[in-house]
Amino acid sequence: MENIKITLKDGSIKEYEQGISVMDIAKSISEGLARVILAAKVNDEVVDLYHQVNEDSSLELLKFEDEEGKDAFRHTSSHILAQAIKRLYPAAKLAIGPAIDNGFYYDIDLDQKLNNEDLEKIEKEMKKIVKEDLKIEKFVLSREEALELMKEKNEDYKVELINDLDKEAVISFYKQGEFVDLCAGPHVPTTKKVKAFKLMSVAGAYWRGDEKNKMLQRIYGTSFEKKKALDEHLEMLEEAKKRDHRKLGKELGLFTISEFGPGFPFFMPKGMQLKNELLNYWREIHKKAGYVEIETPIILNRELWETSGHWYHYKENMYSLKIDEQDFAIKPMNCPGGMLYYKSNMHSYKEFPMRVGEIGRVHRHELSGALHGLMRVRAFTQDDAHIFMLPEQIKDEIKGVIKLIDEVYSTFGFKYHLELSTRPEDSMGSDEEWEVAETGLREALEELNLDYKLNEGDGAFYGPKIDFHLQDCLGRTWQCGTIQLDMQLPQRFELEYIGKDGEKHRPIMIHRVAFGSIERFIGILIEHYAGKFPTWIAPTQVKILPISDKYMDYANEVKKELFANDIRVEIDDRAEKIGYKIREAQLEKIPYMLIVGEKEASEKTLSVRSRDKGELGNIDIKEFISNIEQEVNDKINSL
């Protein structure tokens, strides 16, 4: 038997007999390593540890810390869940069970509605399966054999999935003990690996996400290699519940969603104050960065949406209507309106780069089951901007946008990581255009010395993109900012400029957002700060607490002076004890409380209590105003 060369991640090369398994390669390196790896990448394809290598290959051994290793571990967790379900509920029909961020799920068709007690029973059975140390083995069947096996097991959903596969496809299955499931894999070698897991909840889910299909029961779970990591994750989830923006949004009087408008949030006065402060900040930094601001119509006719391609590719997410017997649509995004703005005048290369921003209201039809507070809504405000430029300006403009978005996230105390997504298979445009675009994005990142993850083939059909994934105080990530280079809309709308040569040319265009959806960003901020907003964006910055009605005149005097200095201030004028008023102000998460009584009124001072630092003592009113102004002006230091 011939020898093959295996190139490891560190660049070293080892020789083995042809047909050696990944597990045996790992054992040859270190028995300890073989015990902790979960899967592997052979020539960039993720495989099981039983996979045999028959040719010279690159090999990367994957642990739980690796994304692909985590996915294999949690995919196996979903199979253990499915096996437990089939043992306890033999009539259950299985749909799909993938790994997802922070966990896994399995969709099942079962007449009995599952509750928390049932989840405990399933969890107990899963623990038995783990203890049984069942080897997880892959095998393949022809399409006909696969259909026969799944029909024999009465698995209707698996039959449908197989029927959708290519007729010539060889179909893979995984077996663990008596349980067999249709699956592409990969999986960890044995059920014994999955020791720390927890079933979290049951929810409804339409088969294949289509509301015309049957509603299934989706069982969510999470799993980790070690119990300590699981416990930490569960503690984080408990903290996240306390920070739930829907709960805090109601308690703090920020927003509400009416039964008369699911997915259409109402902002209360305090929520509107918060939103306006964010928009003021947006306008401030964009003005400094050389952007102009426009506003485009919310409703435009069908011809525009046909030109942009939305009428054919996005219509199910759009709200349409008839006006004067013509088809119109409420805009789901601002970009086509931005194209019309550009076309309203002829432009010269001397005007480039043109940085055009819009705080635009957009509407998208989301399935009712997907709606979630401010995080997923049907109407939201998007902080779009479109930059029109020359090809040679791409790199510098990308760098400028990255710096601007970095400033935004730093102001709110967010860390983030970057992902660069390149040309997908179904792309539009020439090889040369894509090469210029991808090179511009990559070089901009590298010249700024920024680390990024490369997502090959995950760009938009019209151009490559950079996504910003911000991390909140609980370690959760949110995709917010994005920079997309678009070579297609300028062509679709026949955008032109007069070049140095006096001829007409097509501009390059960038789409970009910093907040993304402002409503969603507010939801993230509520949870990130647990409602304790920094002073500069807090809806109410100061609450004056008079000890009794005798000091209301002085309280109003203080309020008037603070108000005159643009400080957002309220008075608690209720006939309650001061301790009660302080507790209420703390629950409202007000940054500063000013207690005023006889001493303060006679000395014209304020007894200041900080939400974050406690008692600050007696301070002169002008000094207090100066301190607040400095804190607001220095946004980053106020965090």
pLDDT digits (tens, 9 = 90+) for 608-620: 999 999 999 999 9
With contact defined as beta carbons under 8 Å apart, do 268 and 331 qualify? no
DSSP code of residue 113: P
Pinpoint the alpha helices (H) of 153-268.
Answer: 156-163, 227-242, 245-251
* Residue at a domain's end among 500, 529, 558: 529
| Alpha-carbon gap, residue 6 to 22, rounded angstroms | 10
| Alpha-carbon gap, residue 596 to 605, rounded angstroms | 8
**What is the 3 state secondary structure string of 141-160?**
ECHHHHHHHHHHCCCHHHHH
Please determine, for residue 637, whether its predicted confidence score (pLDDT) is greater than 70: no
Task: Collapse the DSSP code of 87 into the 3-class scheme (helix H, G, I; strand E, B; otherwise coil) and give the result.
Answer: helix
Q: Is residue 423 part of a domain?
A: yes
Name the pLDDT band for 304 (thresholds 50, 70, 90).
very high
What is the reported pLDDT for 639?
43
Please determine, for residue 635, whether its predicted confidence score (pLDDT) is greater than 80: no
Please determine, for residue 638, whether its predicted confidence score (pLDDT) is greater than 50: no
Q: Catalytic amino acids?
A: 335, 364, 382, 384, 386, 465, 511
Are 212 and 275 contained in the same domain? no
Please determine, for residue 596, whether its predicted confidence score (pLDDT) is greater than 70: yes
**Residue from 184, 197, 85 nearest 131 by CA:** 197
Residue 505 class from Cβ within 10 Å (0-12 exposed, 13-18 middle, 19+ buried)? middle
Residue 575 class from Cβ within 10 Å (0-12 exposed, 13-18 middle, 19+ buried)? exposed
Are 625 and 477 contained in the same domain? no
Buried b or exposed e, range 182-208, using 16+ CB within 10 angstroms: bbebbbbbbbebbebbbbbebeebbbb
Share of the chain above pLDDT 90, in %: 82
With contact defined as beta carbons under 8 Å apart, do 523 and 374 qualify? yes
Residue 27 class from Cβ within 10 Å (0-12 exposed, 13-18 middle, 19+ buried)? middle
Looking at the DSSP assignment, which residues form a beta bridge with residue 6? Answer: 14, 57
Name the pLDDT band for 432 (thresholds 50, 70, 90).
confident
Q: What is the pLDDT of residues 172-208, one digit of tens each?
A: 999 999 999 999 889 999 999 999 999 999 999 999 8
| Alpha-carbon gap, residue 188 to 104, rounded angstroms | 15
**Tokens 């255009």 label which residue?**
433
* Residue at a domain's end among 488, 508, 529: 529
Q: How far is CA 203 from CA 26, 108, 584, in A?
A: 40, 11, 36
Q: What is the CATH number of the domain that holds 150?
A: 3.30.980.10
Name the pLDDT band for 488 (thresholds 50, 70, 90).
confident
Q: What is the CA angle 109-222-101, rounded to 5?
A: 95
What is the reported pLDDT for 367?
86
Q: Is residue 315 part of a domain?
A: no
Are 38 and 141 contained in the same domain? no
Name the pLDDT band for 636 (thresholds 50, 70, 90).
low
| Alpha-carbon gap, residue 576 to 585, rounded angstroms | 13
H helix count then E strand count, the chain:
20, 35
Interval 278-300 mean pLDDT: 96
What is the reported pLDDT for 416?
93
Q: Is residue 524 part of a domain?
A: yes
Q: Is residue 304 part of a domain?
A: no
> In the chain, what is the straight-line distance between the N-terminal and C-terminal CA atoms, in Å?
66
What is the reported pLDDT for 572?
95
Pinpoint the alpha helices (H) of 209-294.
Answer: 227-242, 245-251, 269-288
Are 188 and 140 contained in the same domain? yes
Residues with Cβ within 8 Å of residue 353, at least 6 apart in sequence? 387, 388, 389, 390, 393, 397
DSSP code of residue 490: H
Are 471 and 617 contained in the same domain? no
* Residue at a domain's end among 529, 556, 585: 529
**Tokens 């009584």 label which residue?**
597
Are 27 and 113 contained in the same domain? no
Q: Is residue 249 part of a domain?
A: no
Q: Is residue 566 part of a domain?
A: yes
Interval 116-135 mean pLDDT: 96
Residues with Cβ within 8 Å of residue 536, at least 6 apart in sequence? 277, 631, 632, 635, 638
Q: What is the CATH number of the domain that holds 371?
A: 3.30.930.10
| Alpha-carbon gap, residue 446 to 454, rounded angstroms | 12
Find the helix or strand (DSSP H, E) in which 560 lies: helix 552-564
With contact defined as beta carbons under 8 Å apart, do 81 and 92 qualify? no
Q: Is residue 104 part of a domain?
A: yes
Are 134 and 164 contained in the same domain? yes
Q: What is the CATH number of the domain that holds 556?
A: 3.40.50.800
Looking at the DSSP assignment, which residues form a beta bridge with residue 594? Answer: 544, 608
Q: What is the pLDDT of residues 334-357, one digit of tens each?
A: 999 999 999 999 999 999 999 999
Q: What is the CATH number of the domain that holds 56?
A: 3.10.20.30
Are 418 and 465 contained in the same domain? yes
Q: Is residue 303 part of a domain?
A: no
Name the pLDDT band for 486 (thresholds 50, 70, 90).
confident
Are 502 and 461 contained in the same domain? yes
Structural domain of 625: 542-638
What tokens appear for 559 in the block?
């309020």
Domain count across the chain: 4
What is the reported pLDDT for 472?
86
Are 564 and 548 contained in the same domain? yes
| Parallel, antiparallel or unpaired: strands 497-498 and 465-471 | unpaired
| Alpha-carbon gap, residue 600 to 356, rounded angstroms | 51
Rg, C-alpha atoms of the chain? 29
- What does the mean pLDDT of the chain come to? 93
Q: What is the pLDDT of residues 537-583, one digit of tens each?
A: 999 999 999 999 999 999 999 999 999 999 999 999 999 999 999 99
What tokens appear for 350 in the block?
């001397």
Are 43 and 173 contained in the same domain? no
With contact defined as beta carbons under 8 Å apart, do 316 and 365 qualify? yes
**Residue from 77, 79, 49, 47 nearest 179 by CA:** 79
What is the reported pLDDT for 1?
63
Looking at the DSSP assignment, which residues form a beta bridge with residue 13? Answer: 7
State the amino acid at position 639 in one-letter form: L
State the amino acid at position 528 in one-letter form: H
Are 149 and 225 contained in the same domain? yes
| Alpha-carbon gap, residue 426 to 460, rounded angstroms | 9
**Tokens 């980053």 label which residue?**
636
Interval 240-268 mean pLDDT: 95
| Parallel, antiparallel or unpaired: strands 103-109 and 99-100 | antiparallel
Q: What is the CA angle 202-317-526, rounded to 5?
A: 55
